[in-house]
Amino acid sequence: MNNRLETFVKENRKAFDVMEPSAGLWAKIEQELDNKKKKKPVKLYLWMSAAAAIAVVFGLAWLYVGKLQNKDLEIADVSASYAKKEVHFAGLITEKRDSLAIFAAANPELYKKFTADLKKLDEDYERLKAELPTSPNQTFVVKAMVKNREIQLQLLKQQLLIINQVDDYKRVNQI
């Protein structure tokens, strides 16, 4: 292996750095540094105000959304298992109400009576829902709401049974 060149360079390393940059170079660098310094505070100020504005907007949005959510507290916010039950009942209720509506044309008076009963329960439900956000015992209110739905469902079942029987009776009499 011939490493004479490498050895020579290593031993005489200083002799290779002989060129000099021009004398005015530092002045140029200094000038650029001054320019950057002057620009920087303005930029920083701008960035800070932008950041502050964004923070304010987000803060307001958060407050607003928070308030909205408070006004419209759902059962799910209190108890997930009750919410599940409620959704289940609500689904069945809509189904049964639709079934009931089919008999409406044939039995208008009975249907009116039935819907009035249901409406009362519905009103109770809405009242409970309005109470929920401010209630000291939210679980209790939620329980009542789910119970209300359950009663509605039971009532609807009864109503359907009656209206079915009435319908059958009418039809038999017609013959």
Partner 1 sequence: MQGSRAAQFELYKLYAKAMYNVALRILNYEEEAEDVLQEAFLDAFTRIVDFRQETTFGLWLKQIVINKSINYLRKRKMEFVSTDELSEVPDEDSFDDSEVRLQADEIRTAITELPDGYRVVLSLYLLEGYDHEEIAHILKISENTSRTQYMRAKKKLKSILEQKGMRDE
**Footprint of partner 1 (CB under 8 A):** 1-2, 4-6, 8-9, 12-13, 15-22, 25-26, 28-30, 32-33, 36-37
Instruction: Provide the residue type at 129 as one letter.
Output: K
In whole angstroms, give the CA distance from residue 117 to residue 12. Answer: 106
Closest separation between CB of residue 7 and partner 1, Å? 9
In whole angstroms, give the CA distance from residue 11 to residue 173. Answer: 124
Which residue, 30 or 74, is less far from partner 1 as judged by CB? Answer: 30
Torsion of CA 135, 141, 142, 144, to 10 degrees: -170
Which residue, 23 or 172, is less far from partner 1 as judged by CB? Answer: 23
The conformation of residue 12, written as its DSSP 8-state character, comes to T
Q: Which two tokens stand for residue 14?
A: 């200083």
149 in Cβ contact with 94 (< 8 Å): no
Closest separation between CB of residue 140 and partner 1, Å? 58
Which residue, 16 or 105, is less far from partner 1 as judged by CB? Answer: 16
Closest separation between CB of residue 44 and partner 1, Å? 13
Closest separation between CB of residue 10 and partner 1, Å? 9
Provide the greatest CA pair distance for the chain: 125
Which residue, 23 or 105, is less far from partner 1 as judged by CB? Answer: 23
